[in-house]
């Protein structure tokens, strides 16, 4: 028999899971809640792991989302360092790694993603950091001290943010990635190449158009060999090459899965009493088709929305999430479909420094990136959601 019955079970102790508690309590102040997290740390804000924790903008205590009093006040049974090993969708039960079996009325999957590993010799060596969690931060912070050298593998969001943070902390940083400029899936070529040169000017060695082929331990450090024949010796190796959504629980429960857990406009899975939110949710975003987003705002907004719907709100998810990043002096906020394969128009106030980049599919606006332009996310979102025919002339100065 189940050990206990909960009105709501949330699997995943990250941003989406924590936000779901808030959403549930907006609608239902009494239903029992169980929140299970695989990490030993309570839910925390993930973006500072590669940004403010390194620059002094925040402390570890400040990124924890809620104190113990929050969970007590909201009658949340918080079970940390615990993985759910099985969902029985028919019986409405879960089994966890501690041997507990619990019954749920409504369940949320917010299991996030697992960092992709380098499928090369040495890719699984102890000490190679696949940076994602607060535990990873503590481990890297203890060894990433001034004067040390580090190889950052990957030139996307995490790789570029970490490289900037480590260089700011006076490490000798080398980056290797297969594209020809940083964050190539998002930045248009002109901006991407400019920022890549800015990284070089900051003292970061950029090895673009190359990939690692092997990593081996060498005395107290690592030797990485690349496709281009380079041999890179560093004290530390950090890889940021994306994540794989954690969908195995959903698959074994018989839920519909694609590049994520498939949900409808209410964030329900193919089992109506099971919802999904955050990094794993493949949702029917209005005007964009099915998408899965790995950004802070999406996790928060979907988590809260799923919580409300679990509690009976029955509201369609129509939000257009935004995301942000800081790369040395270059910061941006972006909303919509930010894909460098789309047609782009850059409306610069100061070229490659301050202005707005518009992303278009034909004559329809799909996304906007505000570069060192702040407080304009709502204006950009409204412009995209109008879905009107636009031109370079009508976009010039539209968001400033």
Q: Which DSSP string do the residues of 17-83 spell out, in sequence order? A: HHHHHHHHHHH-SSS-EEEE-SSSSPPB-SGGGTTHHHHTS--HHHHBS--HHHHHHTTEEEE-S--
Tell me what the pLDDT averaged over the chain comes to.
95
Model confidence pLDDT, tens digit, residues 118-144 = 999 999 999 999 999 999 999 999 999
Residues of the chain with pLDDT > 70, as a percent, come to 99
User: Average of pLDDT values for 219-232?
Assistant: 96
User: Average of pLDDT values for 285-301?
Assistant: 86
User: Average of pLDDT values for 38-55?
Assistant: 95
User: Average of pLDDT values for 32-53?
Assistant: 96
Report how far residue 136's alpha carbon sits from residue 143's, in angstroms, rounded to the nearest whole number.
Answer: 11
CATH topology of domain 4-113+244-310: FAD/NAD(P)-binding domain (3.50.50)
Residues of the chain with pLDDT > 90, as a percent, come to 92
Model confidence pLDDT, tens digit, residues 162-195 = 999 999 999 999 999 999 999 999 999 999 999 9
User: Average of pLDDT values for 197-220?
Assistant: 96
Report how far residue 257's alpha carbon sits from residue 251's, in angstroms, rounded to the nearest whole number.
Answer: 7
115 - beta bridge partners? 243
Mark 159-194 as b/e (b = at least 16 C-beta within 10 Å): bbbbbbbbbebebbbbbbbebebbbbebbbeebbbb
Output the pLDDT for position 1: 44
User: Average of pLDDT values for 201-216?
Assistant: 98
Model confidence pLDDT, tens digit, residues 69-124 = 999 999 999 999 999 999 999 999 999 999 999 999 999 999 999 999 999 999 99
Output the pLDDT for position 288: 76
Specify the CATH number for 117-239; select among 3.50.50.60, 3.10.20.600, 3.40.640.10, 2.60.40.10.
3.50.50.60
φ, ψ at 122 (rounded to 5°)? 90, -5
Output the pLDDT for position 291: 87
Mark 84-107 as b/e (b = at least 16 C-beta within 10 Å): beebebeebbbebeeebebbbebb
Residue whose C-alpha is closest to residue 252's, from 263, 261, 264, 241: 261
Same fold, 117-239 and 330-395: no
What does the domain layout of the chain look like in residue ranges? 4-113+244-310, 117-239, 330-395
CATH superfamily of 330-395: FAD/NAD-linked reductase, C-terminal dimerisation domain (3.30.390.30)
Q: Kindly state the DSSP code that residue 389 receives in the 8-state scheme.
A: B
312 - beta bridge partners? none
- Read off the pTM: 0.93
Report how far residue 161's alpha carbon sits from residue 155's, in angstroms, rounded to the nearest whole number.
Answer: 9
- For residue 3, name the pLDDT band (cuts at 50, 70, 90): low
Output the pLDDT for position 220: 85
Output the pLDDT for position 285: 76
The residue count for the chain: 400
């Amino acid at each position: 028999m189940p050990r206990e019955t909960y009105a709501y079970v949330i699997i995943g102790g990250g941003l989406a899971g924590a936000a779901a508690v808030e959403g549930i309590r907006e609608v239902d102040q009494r239903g029992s809640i169980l929140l299970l997290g695989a990490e030993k740390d309570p839910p925390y804000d993930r973006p500072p792991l590669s940004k403010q924790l390194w620059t002094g903008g925040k402390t570890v205590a400040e990124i924890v989302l809620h104190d113990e009093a929050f969970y007590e006040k909201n009658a949340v049974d918080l079970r940390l360092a615990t993985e759910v090993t099985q969902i029985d969708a028919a019986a409405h039960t879960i089994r966890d790694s501690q041997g507990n079996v619990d019954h749920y009325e409504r369940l949320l999957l917010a299991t996030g993603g697992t960092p992709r590993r380098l499928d090369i010799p040495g890719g699984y060596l102890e000490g190679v950091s696949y940076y994602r969690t607060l535990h990873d931060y503590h481990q890297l912070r203890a060894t990433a001290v001034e004067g040390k050298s580090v190889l950052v593998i990957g030139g996307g969001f995490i790789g570029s943010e970490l490289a900037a943070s480590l260089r700011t902390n006076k490490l000798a940083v080398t980056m290797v990635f297969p594209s020809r400029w940083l964050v190539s899936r998002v930045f248009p070529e002109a901006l991407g190449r400019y920022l890549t040169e800015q990284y070089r000017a900051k003292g970061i060695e950029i090895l673009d158009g190359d990939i690692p082929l092997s990593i081996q331990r060498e005395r107290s450090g690592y030797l990485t060999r690349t496709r281009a024949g380079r041999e890179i010796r560093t004290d530390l190796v950090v890889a940021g090459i994306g994540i794989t959504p954690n969908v195995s629980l959903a698959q074994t429960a018989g839920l519909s899965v694609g590049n994520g857990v498939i949900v409808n406009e209410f964030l329900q899975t193919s089992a109506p009493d099971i919802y999904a939110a955050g990094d794993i949710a493949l949702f029917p975003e209005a005007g964009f088709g099915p998408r899965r987003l790995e950004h802070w705002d999406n996790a928060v907004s979907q988590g809260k929305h799923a919580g409300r719907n679990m509690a009976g709100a029955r509201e369609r998810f129509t939000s257009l999430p935004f995301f942000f990043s800081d790369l040395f002096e270059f910061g941006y906020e972006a909303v919509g479909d930010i894909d460098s394969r789309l047609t782009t128009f850059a409306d610069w106030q100061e070229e490659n420094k301050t202005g707005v980049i518009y992303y278009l599919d034909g004559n329809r606006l799909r996304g906007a990136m505000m570069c060192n332009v702040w407080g304009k996310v709502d204006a950009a979102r409204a412009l995209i959601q109008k879905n009107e025919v636009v031109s370079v002339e009508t976009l010039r100065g539209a968001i400033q």
